[in-house]
Amino acid sequence: MQLSGAQILIRELAGHGVTTVFGYPGGAVLDIYDRLQEEGCPLRHVLTAHEQGAAHAADGYARASGGVGVVIATSGPGATNLVTGIATAYLDSVPLIAITGNVAAQLLGRDSFQEVDIIGVTQPIVKHSFLVKDVCHLAKTLCEAFAIATTGRRGPVLVDLPKSVQTAVCDYQPPDDAPPAKRQAPDIDVSAAVAAIRQSRRPFLYCGGGVLAAGAEAEAMALSRRLSAPIGLSMMGLTSVPHSFPLNLGMCGMHGRYAATRAQSEADLIIAAGVRFSERATGNTSEYTGGRTVLHIDIDTAEIGKNIRPQIGLCGDVKDILAALLPAVPEMCNREWVERALAGKQADEAQARPGFTPRAIIRAVAEALGPDALVATDVGQHQMWTMQHYPFERQRSLLTSGGLGTMGFGLGAAIGGCIQRGGRRTVLFTSDGSFGMNLTELATAVSQRLPIAVVLLNNGSLGMVRQWQTLFYGGRYSQTTLHRQTDFPALARAFGAEGARARTLSELHAALAELPEDGPCVIDCPIDMDEQVLPMIPPGGSIKNIMMK
């Protein structure tokens, strides 16, 4: 069958189960877009306002589904606008396929119009990338791209398609796509791990994004129950265990819950599953590891020993390893340990203050929208408050930029996630700083008629940076007070969205009760500029340095 490169691309995307792509047209992808508008095209294309928004949307789509997200951009500036989105996906191990157009193959390297070496630009932030120079290799290359993005530790793959490859025609044979390697029980010796667990009096289970990636939520909870091990979560692992799971103490780390941080610091064994021990999660590494055994389980061998040197490292699929451990360990219960760990929650609860506080706002939203809502965040204080106070019950119900900490991630991600969930109620927690970065995507949420509630915690400053300036820079607020006069509800209306302002909890309740079902609504919630994210462990510190107020 004679097909053009553009046709092959669409066939292969559909063949790999893709139904929705996000993107933005341009000169070097005209052939692809010409095929996308054809009747019977199996792909829905979602046009965003900016390529960065498209990349975050594809990322949000992937995070919400556990599958692949696809973004298409033209050459040059279209491609470079993807960079932050690709890096965000890379740091959080999200399987993203980025398709970029490029100038015709014979024009490569001549500084042609809108030409950029996007393979070179993105090289350190992709799992792999391909420049396809011959249309005959396109189908096979795309199969490889999907396989790389979705196997092992997941990550973004970029496929650069010169315009000449999109137009060139070849005899297309669907590649005999080898079925994905069947998952086998790991050939891993768990005996050292079992011995360490048997010896432990105070085991602690630390779950990360790898638990979600492997679909190991049930195994993690079963292990926690079997060992009576309290669970702490990394930010990427936050939805792997429901908030209501009795032994779930919440997020660990710099802005983690006191209960989780204390229990982790008092444990004699940390079973770390699918985490990479980011410095924001561990603080001082010698304090972190001192006096306890660390058992590190991860699919990426390079992570074992990279940031923390564990006594025991098990490399493989987290689900397989936890499943292998489960029948090999005894039922254990150190009542004193569990009770002390759970008692730590009181310190967290004691932090509640009356009034229109971030905590009260987030809890009110959670209550109004229920456990099925999808939650996205931007980056900063509002993000940490969401991590601390939103009671996540469903796996993959949180879309947040962890490793890269990308301000401006949230709206695009909310759009992608909302579409992936078939237009389910979605809430974006953001702030005046983060929202200001990519708010043009409101146009996309309007055109796609997406029920996204944008809850904007408006403190008139770049709050997280301000917090650090307060604590560590003598209150010198260099360039963090915004002095802006943006009227967010009016701005929302200008985009064709709805807008409201809530200064009290009852105003917030009223606004939440009237959220439109077929479009976005921005709820501007003014909060105090000096609200801080607490607890906080200063960088490089430990539980000894924790600031509670």
* Binding region for other proteins (CB under 8 A): 119-120, 123-124, 127-129, 131, 148, 153, 178, 181, 300-302, 305-306
Question: Least separation, in Å, of the C-beta of 304 and other proteins?
Answer: 8
Q: Which residues are catalytic?
A: 51, 113-114, 163, 464
Nearer to other proteins (CB atom), residue 86 or residue 407: 86
Q: Are 411 and 430 in contact (CB under 8 A)?
A: yes
Question: Least separation, in Å, of the C-beta of 302 and other proteins?
Answer: 4
Nearer to other proteins (CB atom), residue 306 or residue 484: 306
Query: Cis omega (within 30 of 0) on the bond before 535?
Result: yes
Q: Spell out the residues 6+ positions from residue 340 whose beta carbon is closer than 8 angstroms to its own.
A: 263, 266
Q: Which residues pair with 481 in a beta bridge?
A: 461
As given in the structure block, the two tokens for residue 26 are 């341009």
Nearer to other proteins (CB atom), residue 127 or residue 202: 127
Question: Least separation, in Å, of the C-beta of 209 and other proteins?
Answer: 17
Q: Looking at this protein, which amino acid is placed at residue 534?
A: L
> For 392, which DSSP code?
-
Nearer to other proteins (CB atom), residue 128 or residue 225: 128
Q: Distance (Å, rounded) from C-alpha 154 to C-alpha 298? A: 12
Nearer to other proteins (CB atom), residue 124 or residue 327: 124
Question: Least separation, in Å, of the C-beta of 106 and other proteins?
Answer: 16
As given in the structure block, the two tokens for residue 287 are 């304090």
Q: Distance (Å, rounded) from C-alpha 416 to C-alpha 437? A: 17
- How many C-beta neighbours within 10 Å does residue 530 have? 11
Q: Distance (Å, rounded) from C-alpha 535 to C-alpha 388? A: 10
Nearer to other proteins (CB atom), residue 145 or residue 207: 145
Question: Least separation, in Å, of the C-beta of 118 and other proteins?
Answer: 12
Q: Distance (Å, rounded) from C-alpha 459 to C-alpha 82? A: 29
Q: Compute φ and ψ for 249, nearest 5 degrees.
A: -100, -5
Q: Are 453 and 520 in contact (CB under 8 A)?
A: yes
Question: Least separation, in Å, of the C-beta of 160 and other proteins?
Answer: 11
Q: Which residues pair with 457 in a beta bridge?
A: 431, 525
As given in the structure block, the two tokens for residue 277 are 């021990």
